[in-house]
Amino acid sequence: VPAPGRPERSGGPHLCLAVDIGGTKVGSALVDDVGRVVGYHQVSTPASDDPEEVWDAVGAAVDRALDDARAIGSTPEVCGIGCGGPMASELVSPLNIPAWREFPLVQRMAERTGLRVALDNDAKALALGEGWCGAAAGERHFLAMVVSTGVGGGIVLDGTMLDGRSGNAGHIGHVIVVPDGRRCACGARGCLEAEASGPAIAAITGQPAAAAAPSIRRRTGRLVGRAVASVANLLDLPLAVVGGSVALGYGDDFFGAARSELQSCARLSFSADTRIVPAGLGSSAPIVGAAAVGWRAMGALRPSAHPPPDDSTATE
């Protein structure tokens, strides 16, 4: 959205105002054009029915990042947002933020910041970030996904993020992995999200997902591996990057089972060597992903030769 009165760049590094909007927290940061995070601010997402109250929290996080930019004599060139879906054009209706239904996020952000604003769903944002300077850096064909409160993903094929008709390509959470399995929020049965998300695991086990026994951790990995195998067979993908609190928290139990299932299910000449690896950007992945959304809109997103931002402060 071209905004009137867009400020001119005033020197300093090239910066994107990155905003990650989730159901529990809103993060904001300045991220440069090689993925380095300059400062990071976080506020809680209000549990409110009032869309303006949620927006005020987002605005507060954004203002802090803009203060940081002024302090170093710079102005961001673009604003990139990662937000829970679904979304249609520039209106968001995140499942995890009930107060926002068809909320005009892009317009409001442009009004507040005077910046060009680019928006995408948080899973696709994470995929863009991982391909930019994370575990898929330099890869032209990969799937990146999150296994957390929800299960989502983004697919890069031939070096291009797939958007699809409505921008929702990559919804791996609704690939069916258990025939006649648990009822999913989407209405189908046995979707990956209905079997492997944190809330699904809690419902299956009767305890928080983080407390799940090794057998459940392995089952979750197995189901993710099964879905990844279908995607690898379908799209000729050599790499799947998996992040999110459930996957990363379950660690070796999860990834070992996922690899084993992938080997069993992806057996074509081009898919037999497909790999599953943990996300490389760790806790920075959502905010770096939001920045990648912004730089992508500017045509400035290229695989970075720099290490992930977590390591970028290391001294020589």
CB-nearer residue toward Zn ion: 17 or 147: 147
What is the binding site for Zn ion (CB under 5 A)? 174, 184, 186, 188, 191
Least distance (Å) between residue 247 CB and Zn ion: 18
Output the smallest distance, CB 188 to Zn ion, in A.
5
How far is residue 218's CA from residue 201's CA, in Å, rounded to a whole number? Answer: 12
Query: In a 10 Å sphere around its CB, with 0-12 CB exposed, 13-18 middle and 19+ buried, how is residue 205 labelled?
Result: middle
Smallest distance from Zn ion to CB 184, Å: 3
The amino acid at residue 245 is S
Minimum distance, C-beta of residue 192 to Zn ion, in the bound complex (Å): 8
Distance of closest approach, residue 262 Cβ to Zn ion, in angstroms: 21
- β-strand pairing of 15-21 with 78-83: parallel
- Please say which residue, 47 or 188, places its beta carbon nearer to Zn ion: 188
CB nearer Zn ion, residue 191 or residue 262: 191
HEC string of 57-94?
Answer: HHHHHHHHHHHHHHHCCCCCCEEEEEECCCEECCEECC
Nearer to Zn ion, 178 or 298 (CB): 178
Q: Are 135 and 280 in contact (CB under 8 A)?
A: yes
From 261, 76, 87, 275, select the one nearest 164 (Cα to Cα): 87
Going by C-alpha positions, the residue among 117, 112, 115, 58 that lies closest to residue 90 is 117
Dihedral sign of CA atoms 288, 291, 293, 295 in order: negative
When the beta carbons of 137 and 176 are compared against Zn ion, the nearer one is: 176
**C-alpha 269, offset from chain centre:** 30
Please, what is the minimum distance in Å from the beta carbon of residue 168 to Zn ion? 13
* Nearest distance from C-beta of residue 194 to Zn ion, angstroms: 6
Comparing CB distances to Zn ion, the nearer of 227 and 239 is 227
Residue appearing with tokens 């049965």: 189
Residue number, 116 or 124, with CB nearest to Zn ion: 124
Nearest partner of 132 among 40, 37, 230, 225, judged by Cα? 37
